[in-house]
């Protein structure tokens, strides 16, 4: 098993543990001890596990990524902040996995709203953290969850009280500056009844090999509304494993936009549990170039009646990039009248690009409306010719069609500054000739 190869990580743990937050909290120490034990037993996930068969993480087992001693906020370039930090948002900036107060922007929070680092939350509102940490996911999920629980060095904590509608989005800006760094962050987002919140998770880093292992636990209360964006723009040499685990209460609405652009190997796990009449929308766009490996694994559990889920993932893969989409929708026996649609569409731009797509429906109820569809293909020749017959040269026509394919997902972003930022990133990843930024 991979436990053997991960043993150097457990051996490294005692040196790191004293620097991790929550030393004085016995419940957290217990949680970490249990997680370390679970990780020691399983190690990182192995391709022998069905849910990991397309993504072999031996690359991180061969190395030792370790939690840096210092946060090194001074390493963060002004250009990087300018490019990725949203101006019209409250932001929590983590550098090499630890909170940087000087780079964050948290003034003017409405009364009763908590937006702070997880380490600070453990110091000031530990009971609120305790009642949620580990409640949306536990060590049994897979090795990365146990690893994260034992190792997490900081993260984002958000608590929004009932009926509060936040005027600005919240951004978690996750920056890794150091080579061979391990950035293990744990985020807890609690949105209480009828509150409305937008949260943006942005992952970026310097041009180094490093490992991001993040877990975000999300609690969407009754009739509450959370839109969560994930912008994964890690270094081309980095490994990224990010899990998002969502608990939706009755009538809760959760929308996720998952943009996977960076990383040598990147994987997102998005698991949502839906209660009565909850609504879950999962949108995703993955763009792979060179030898990138980008895996997205989603699971929607319809546990109660009248739930609605809509999932659209699109991928564009060029060069020797490989994409993986595993989408699973489970409709429990109790979840009558579930309405679920899942779609995965892929565009392969080179003969060496590859995608493995596996949509799965597991339905145990008998009165439901569920569907799924998958396409894998090249650009349509008829469309290319149509554009050529309208004066557009072939290369530009192909660029336009590729961009249009991806842009459908970018267009769904409702935060203007974020939309523009993501648009720039999409344009930067594919040849830009002939694609007008003023996409009317």
Q: Which residue bears the tokens 């569907």?
A: 371
Q: Least distance to other proteins from the beta carbon of 375, Å? A: 13
Q: Which is nearer to other proteins, 5 or 396 (CB)?
A: 396
* C-alpha gyration radius of the chain: 21
Among 260, 387, 423, 426, binds other proteins (CB under 8 A): 387
- 107 lies in the site for other proteins, by CB under 8 A: no
Among 385, 420, 424, 433, binds other proteins (CB under 8 A): 385
User: How many amino acids of this chain bind other proteins (CB under 8 A)?
Assistant: 27
Q: Least distance to other proteins from the beta carbon of 109, Å? A: 39
Q: Which is nearer to other proteins, 173 or 387 (CB)?
A: 387
The stretch among 34-42, 126-134, 268-276, 391-399 that binds other proteins (CB under 8 A) is: 391-399
- 439 lies in the site for other proteins, by CB under 8 A: yes
- 127 lies in the site for other proteins, by CB under 8 A: no
Q: Least distance to other proteins from the beta carbon of 390, Å? A: 4
Convert residues 37-56 into a mask of x (bound to other proteins by CB under 8 A) and - (unbound): --------------------
Among 180, 334, 352, 393, binds other proteins (CB under 8 A): 393
Sheet (strand 170-176) strand order? 98-99, 90-95, 170-176, 196-205, 225-233, 253-260, 279-288, 308-317, 339-348, 369-377
Question: How many angstroms separate the CA atoms of 121 and 421, rounded?
Answer: 30
**Which are the contacts of 139, defined by CB distance < 8 A and separation ≥ 6?**
34, 35, 38, 39, 145, 146, 149
Q: Least distance to other proteins from the beta carbon of 345, Å? A: 11
Q: Which is nearer to other proteins, 165 or 404 (CB)?
A: 404
Q: Least distance to other proteins from the beta carbon of 407, Å? A: 5
Q: Are 244 and 256 in contact (CB under 8 A)?
A: yes
Question: How many angstroms separate the CA atoms of 214 and 240, rounded?
Answer: 8
Q: Least distance to other proteins from the beta carbon of 185, Å? A: 35
Convert residues 399-428 into a mask of x (bound to other proteins by CB under 8 A) and - (unbound): -xx-xxx-xx--------------------
Among 62, 82, 390, 437, binds other proteins (CB under 8 A): 390
Q: Least distance to other proteins from the beta carbon of 409, Å? A: 10
Structure token digits, residue 5: 């190869």
Q: Least distance to other proteins from the beta carbon of 139, Å? A: 42
For residue 272, the surrounding DSSP H or E stretch is strand 265-274
- 102 lies in the site for other proteins, by CB under 8 A: no
Among 392, 412, 417, 419, binds other proteins (CB under 8 A): 392
- 391 lies in the site for other proteins, by CB under 8 A: yes
Q: Least distance to other proteins from the beta carbon of 41, Å? A: 48
Among 107, 351, 436, 437, binds other proteins (CB under 8 A): 436
Q: Is 10 exposed, middle or buried (0-12, 13-18, 19+ CB in 10 A)?
A: middle
Q: Least distance to other proteins from the beta carbon of 327, Å? A: 21
- 27 lies in the site for other proteins, by CB under 8 A: no
Question: How many angstroms separate the CA atoms of 266 and 61, rounded?
Answer: 15
Q: DSSP for 123-162?
A: HH-HHHHHTTTTTS--TTS-HHHHHHHHH--B-EEEEE-T
Start-to-end Cα distance in the chain: 54
- 389 lies in the site for other proteins, by CB under 8 A: yes
What residues numbered 66-85 form the site for other proteins, per CB under 8 A?
none
Among 352, 394, 420, 424, binds other proteins (CB under 8 A): 394
Q: Which is nearer to other proteins, 333 or 380 (CB)?
A: 380
What residues numbered 364-383 form the site for other proteins, per CB under 8 A?
380-383
Residue ranges that bind other proteins, judged by CB under 8 A: 380-383, 385-394, 396-397, 400-401, 403-405, 407-408, 434, 436, 439-440
């Amino acid at each position: 098993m991979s436990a053997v190869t991960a043993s150097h990580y457990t051996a490294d743990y005692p040196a790191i543990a004293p620097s991790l937050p929550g030393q004085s909290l016995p419940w957290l120490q217990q949680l970490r001890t249990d997680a370390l034990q679970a990780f020691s037993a399983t190690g990182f996930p192995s391709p022998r596990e069905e849910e990991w068969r397309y993504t072999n993480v031996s690359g991180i087992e061969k190395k030792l990524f370790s939690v840096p001693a210092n946060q090194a906020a001074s390493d963060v370039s002004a250009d990087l902040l300018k490019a990725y930090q949203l101006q019209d948002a409250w932001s929590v900036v983590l550098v090499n996995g630890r909170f940087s107060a000087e780079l964050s922007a948290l003034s003017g929070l409405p009364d009763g709203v908590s937006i702070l680092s997880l380490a600070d939350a453990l110091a000031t509102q530990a009971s609120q953290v305790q009642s949620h940490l580990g409640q949306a996911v536990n060590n049994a999920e897979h090795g990365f969850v146990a690893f994260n629980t034992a190792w997490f060095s900081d993260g984002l904590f958000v608590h929004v009280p009932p009926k509060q509608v936040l005027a600005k989005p919240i951004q978690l800006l996750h920056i890794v500056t150091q080579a061979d760094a391990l950035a293990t962050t744990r985020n807890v987002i609690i949105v209480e009844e009828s509150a409305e919140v937008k949260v943006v998770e942005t992952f970026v880093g310097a041009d180094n090999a490093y490992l991001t292992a993040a877990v975000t636990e999300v609690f969407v209360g009754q009739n509450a509304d959370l839109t969560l964006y994930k912008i994964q723009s890690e270094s081309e040499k980095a490994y990224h494993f990010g899990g998002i685990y969502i608990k939706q209460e009755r009538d809760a609405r959760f929308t996720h936009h998952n943009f996977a652009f960076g990383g040598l190997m990147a994987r997102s796990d998005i698991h949502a549990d839906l209660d009565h009449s909850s609504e879950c929308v999962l949108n995703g766009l993955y763009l792979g170039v060179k030898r990138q490996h980008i895996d997205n694994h989603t699971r929607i559990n319809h546990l109660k009646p009248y739930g609605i889920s809509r999932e659209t993932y699109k991928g564009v893969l060029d060069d020797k990039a490989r994409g993986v989409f595993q989408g699973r929708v489970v409709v429990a026996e109790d979840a009558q009248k579930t309405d679920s649609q899942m779609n995965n569409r892929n565009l392969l731009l080179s003969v060496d690009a590859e995608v493995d797509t596996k949509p799965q429906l597991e339905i145990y109820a008998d009165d439901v409306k569920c569907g799924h569809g998958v396409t894998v293909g090249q650009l349509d020749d008829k469309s290319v010719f149509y554009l050529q017959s309208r004066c557009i040269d072939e290369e530009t026509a192909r660029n336009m069609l590729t961009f249009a394919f991806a842009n459908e997902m970018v267009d769904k972003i409702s935060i203007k500054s974020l939309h523009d930022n993501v648009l720039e990133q999409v344009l930067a990843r594919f040849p830009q000739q002939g694609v007008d930024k003023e996409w009317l």
